[in-house]
C-alpha cells in the first residue's frame, strides 16, 4: 500500500511538472505571437498577440508608413497579429527583390477573400498557370502597339468631356468619371458609357466598392487561426461574409451578362475592337476558358476606371494650386497646337511639358498609396542578412517611393521629368526601378499591364482640358481663396483627392466653338443609345486596316 501511495505521489509530481512545462511553453508561444524575430528587417516595437496592429493608423496610413521608413530604413517589418508586412521604401530594395528575384516575389498574400470569390480575380491570384494565362492576355491585347487602336475611343470621349465641362463645369468630377468609365467600357467591352446612371455601370461600381472594402486587410488575414470560424460561422452573423456573398452574386450575374452580350455582337458581325473580343476570338494555345474570360475583362474594367479618374482629379487639383505650371502648359499648347484644333495623341512628341505634367501627376498624387494588393513570396528568402518569411506581404510603399526625390518632393514640378525621359514609351514602368519617375503602376512581374492604354487616356484628357480651360481657385464671400488641403485624400488603399471646389472657364470663345463643332460632328457617329454606329467603326478602324 505504501508503495502504491509513493507511486501515486510521484505520478502527481510528474503530471503537474508536465502541465507546468506545457503551460510555460504555450504561454511562451502566446507571448511570442505577434513579436518580430530579431533576424527580420527592423521596425517599430511589437507587443504580444497584436504585434504592431495597435499602431496601424485608421486613416492616412501612408504618412505613418513614410515616418517609419525614415526612422527604420529602406526595408521595414510590421507584425500584424500572425502576419508579416514588409515595407519596401527604397528603389534599390524594389529592384533587388521584385525585379531581380521576380520569380520568387510575384505571388500574392493568402487573403481570405480568395476562398469565397472563386479566386478568379487576377489582382489577388497567385502566379500560377491560370494567372500566367490571364496576364498573357493583357500583354498581348493591351501592349504599346495594340493600345494605339484604342486612341479613337479616348479622343471621342474626351470630346464629350470638354463639351460637358462647358455645360456644367461645377460637375467636373462627375464628367471626368464618365470619361474614364467610358474609355474603360469601350476598351474592355466595345460599348460606351453615356452616363453614370446606366445599369451595367451602377452594378460595376457597386462591385468595385464592395471588392475594395473586402480586399482591405481583414482580422482573419491578420490572425489565420480564425479561418475555420469564418468558414463555418453562418453568413447572417458575419457582415464580412455577407459582403463576399454580394460580390459573388454580382460577378456571377453581371460578368457573364457582359460576356454574352459581346458574343452576341460577334455573332451579328459587330466585331468591334475590344479586350473581350480579342479574348473570345483568340486561337492561342493558352486561350482562357469562358469563366476566365468573363472575369478577366471585368477585373480589367475595375482597374482602369477608378485609377484614371483619381489621377485626373489630382491633376486638376495641381493646376489650381500651381498656376505657374498651368500657365506654362498654356504657352506650350498655344505654340504647338494653336487655337483652332484640339490636341491629338500624335502631338505628344512635340509637347514635352505636357508629357511631364502627366508623369508628375502620377508621381505627385498616386491613386495607390501603397500597392493596392501587395506582393508575396513563394519561399523563405534572405536579403542583406535579414529573413523574409514565405507568405509575407510585400508592400511597395508608393507614397514614400514617389517622394524620394530632391528639391521639395511635395511641390508639383514637371521639370523633374526631362524631355528625353518622357519620350521613352516605358518611362513610367521602366524595368530598372532606379530610373523610375514614380511607382504608381507597381513594379516587378505584377506591374500594371494596362499602362500604355492609361498613358494615352491621361495624356489626351489632360492636354485637351488645359488647351480648353483655365482652372482657378474658388473664392469665399470675402474674396479669399477657399482652402484646399494639398495632400488630403480619401481613405483606403485606392484613393482620390478629397472633394475640392474649382472655377473652370473656357480660355476664349474661339475654343468654345471648336469644342461645340467637334462634339456636334462626333454625335453623327452615335446611334440612338449613344453607342458607336457601324459607320464609325468602318471609317475609323476597318478603313485603316485596309491601307497597305
Q: Give the annotated binding-site residues for heme.
A: 448
CA distance 263 to 251: 18
- Of 490, 460, 477, 7, give the one whose Cα is nearest residue 212: 490
Strand order across the 75-80 sheet: 75-80, 83-88, 393-396
CA distance 43 to 49: 16
CB under 8 Å to 12, separation ≥6 — which residues? none
The DSSP secondary structure of 369-401, one letter per residue, reads SS-SS-BB-SS-EEETTEEE-TT-EEEE-HHHH
CB under 8 Å to 132, separation ≥6 — which residues? 286
Distances (CA, A) of 174 to 140, 197, 367, 536: 32, 11, 17, 26
Q: How many CB atoms lie within 10 A of CB 172?
A: 21
**Taken in order 310, 411, 408, 431, is the CA torsion positive or negative?**
positive
Q: How many CB atoms lie within 10 A of CB 540?
A: 18
Numbered residues of the known binding site: 448
CA distance 156 to 536: 11
| Rg for the chain, CA atoms, rounded | 27
Within its chain, how far is the Cα of 179 from the centroid? 17
According to DSSP, residue 86 is labeled E
Amino acid at each position: 500500500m505504501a508503495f502504491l501511495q509513493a507511486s501515486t505521489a510521484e505520478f502527481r509530481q510528474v503530471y503537474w511538472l508536465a502541465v507546468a512545462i506545457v503551460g510555460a511553453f504555450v504561454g511562451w508561444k502566446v507571448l511570442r505571437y505577434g513579436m518580430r524575430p530579431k533576424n527580420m528587417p527592423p521596425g517599430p516595437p511589437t507587443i504580444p498577440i497584436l504585434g504592431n496592429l495597435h499602431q496601424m493608423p485608421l486613416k492616412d496610413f501612408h504618412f505613418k508608413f513614410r515616418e517609419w521608413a525614415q526612422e527604420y530604413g529602406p526595408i521595414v517589418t510590421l507584425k500584424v497579429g500572425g502576419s508579416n508586412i514588409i515595407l519596401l521604401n527604397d528603389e534599390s530594395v524594389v529592384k533587388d527583390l521584385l525585379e531581380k528575384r521576380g520569380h520568387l516575389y510575384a505571388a500574392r498574400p493568402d487573403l481570405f477573400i480568395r476562398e469565397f470569390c472563386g479566386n478568379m480575380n487576377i489582382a489577388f491570384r497567385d502566379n500560377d498557370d491560370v494567372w500566367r494565362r490571364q496576364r498573357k492576355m493583357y500583354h498581348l491585347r493591351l501592349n504599346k502597339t495594340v493600345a494605339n487602336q484604342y486612341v479613337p475611343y479616348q479622343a471621342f470621349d474626351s470630346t464629350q468631356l470638354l463639351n460637358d465641362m462647358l455645360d456644367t463645369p461645377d460637375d467636373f468630377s462627375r464628367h471626368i468619371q464618365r470619361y474614364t468609365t467610358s474609355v474603360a467600357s469601350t476598351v474592355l467591352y466595345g460599348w460606351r458609357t453615356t452616363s453614370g446612371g446606366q445599369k451595367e455601370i451602377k452594378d460595376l461600381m457597386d462591385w468595385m466598392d464592395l471588392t475594395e472594402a473586402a480586399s482591405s486587410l481583414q482580422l482573419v488575414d491578420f490572425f489565420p487561426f480564425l479561418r475555420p470560424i469564418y468558414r463555418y460561422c453562418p453568413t447572417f452573423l458575419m457582415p464580412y461574409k455577407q459582403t463576399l456573398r454580394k460580390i459573388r452574386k454580382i460577378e456571377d450575374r453581371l460578368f457573364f451578362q457582359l460576356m454574352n452580350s459581346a458574343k452576341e455582337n460577334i455573332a451579328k458581325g459587330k466585331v468591334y475592337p475590344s479586350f473581350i473580343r480579342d479574348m473570345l476570338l483568340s486561337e492561342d494555345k493558352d486561350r482562357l476558358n469562358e469563366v476566365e474570360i468573363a472575369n478577366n475583362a471585368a477585373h480589367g474594367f475595375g482597374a482602369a476606371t477608378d485609377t484614371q479618374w483619381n489621377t485626373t482629379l489630382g491633376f486638376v487639383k495641381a493646376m489650381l494650386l500651381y498656376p505657374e505650371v498651368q500657365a506654362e502648359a498654356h504657352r506650350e499648347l498655344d505654340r504647338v497646337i494653336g487655337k483652332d484644333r484640339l490636341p491629338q495623341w500624335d502631338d505628344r512628341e512635340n509637347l514635352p511639358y505636357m508629357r511631364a505634367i502627366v508623369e508628375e501627376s502620377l508621381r505627385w498624387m498616386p491613386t495607390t498609396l501603397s500597392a493596392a494588393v501587395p506582393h508575396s513570396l513563394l519561399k523563405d528568402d534572405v536579403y542583406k542578412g535579414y529573413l523574409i518569411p514565405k507568405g509575407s506581404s510585400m508592400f511597395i510603399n508608393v507614397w514614400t517611393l514617389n517622394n524620394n526625390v530632391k528639391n521639395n518632393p511635395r511641390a508639383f514640378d514637371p521639370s523633374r521629368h526631362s524631355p528625353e525621359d518622357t519620350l521613352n514609351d516605358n518611362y513610367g514602368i521602366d524595368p530598372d526601378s532606379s530610373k523610375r519617375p514614380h511607382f504608381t503602376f507597381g513594379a516587378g512581374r505584377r506591374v500594371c499591364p494596362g499602362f500604355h492604354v492609361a498613358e494615352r487616356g491621361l495624356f489626351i484628357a489632360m492636354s485637351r482640358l488645359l488647351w480648353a480651360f483655365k482652372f482657378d481657385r474658388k473664392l469665399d464671400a470675402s474674396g479669399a481663396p477657399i482652402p484646399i488641403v494639398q495632400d488630403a485624400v480619401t481613405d483606403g488603399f485606392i484613393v482620390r483627392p478629397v472633394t475640392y471646389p474649382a472655377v473652370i472657364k473656357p480660355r476664349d470663345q474661339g475654343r468654345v466653338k471648336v469644342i461645340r463643332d467637334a462634339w456636334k460632328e462626333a454625335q453623327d457617329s452615335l446611334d440612338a443609345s449613344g453607342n458607336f454606329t457601324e459607320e464609325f467603326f468602318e471609317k475609323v478602324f476597318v478603313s485603316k486596316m485596309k491601307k497597305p
